[in-house]
Amino acid sequence: MNYSFFVRIFCIALACFIGWISPLHGKESAALKGRILDTQGQAVQGAEVYAYRSNKVKGPADYISNRTGADGIFTLVLPPGKYWVLGVFRKSGAKFGPLITGDKHSGEPIPMNVKAGQETERNFTVMDLREAARQIDKKSEELFKITGKILDKHGQPLPMAYAMAHLQPQLGTIPRYLSRWTDDTGRYILYVPRGTLFLGAALTFPVKNDYFLKNRIDVQGDMQEMDIIVMLEKK
């Protein structure tokens, strides 16, 4: 029997098989689509959406969208299930690791259930530390000013650090209140409401999920010389 005949039969069978499994694959997946925007509502180019199977979002993502173009549009195809998703822009193009100056992040991961064959639309607003701090600057007398220095264990000022305060000692990803980056003097300014808060500082943004703020403070007014010691991690 002619060899070419077997080749034609094989190609026809393969095409039929692919045609059979492709619709099945489409039905078993879900799509998350939307835009990644900055705080001014403008599209962010070169950003991505990360999807994790748990709320531990410090390591490599389980799924990553395409990198956005000038329109800020992303598409992320996922198997059905529950995910924690967030938007990230990294100047370096890296896929994971601490954010550096100029990188942007959408904040706390958003839990999301996706179902087979379903298309969900969701936009993400990303911001850097300076923009996040600007959003909570003192706008009324309901917020009080805390000032001090961020120091290492030897009492030396730490530049490119920031102070933060939260309602609980353990953080998720983004603290409730945070300062801008410190300069060479290590001085920070932090605006917080009245009440009991937990105060701390860090050198990377955002901090890891199990980060604890050890300084408990009772805020009843402006507070000065609230120095914060940061234990540097070993490299």
Of the residues 125, 143, 170, the one at which a domain ends? 125
What is the per-residue pLDDT for 45?
95
Same domain, 90 and 147: no
Same domain, 94 and 143: no
Return the exposure string of 189-225: e unless at least 16 CB atoms fall within 10 Å of the residue's CB, then b: ebbbeeeebbbbbbbebbbeeebebebebebeeebee
pLDDT over 70 at 198, yes or no: yes
User: What pLDDT digit, counting tens, does each position of 93-130 carry?
Assistant: 777 666 777 788 887 788 999 888 888 899 998 888 66
What is the per-residue pLDDT for 217?
94
Model pTM score = 0.53
Return the CATH number at 103: 2.60.40.1120
Residue 129 in 3-state DSSP?
helix
Same domain, 152 and 121: no
Bond before 79 cis per omega within 30 degrees: no
User: What pLDDT digit, counting tens, does each position of 6-25 carry?
Assistant: 445 444 444 444 333 333 34
Q: 219 pairs with which residues across the strands? A: 195
Same domain, 121 and 134: no
Same domain, 78 and 167: no
For residue 202, what are the domain limits?
A: 129-229
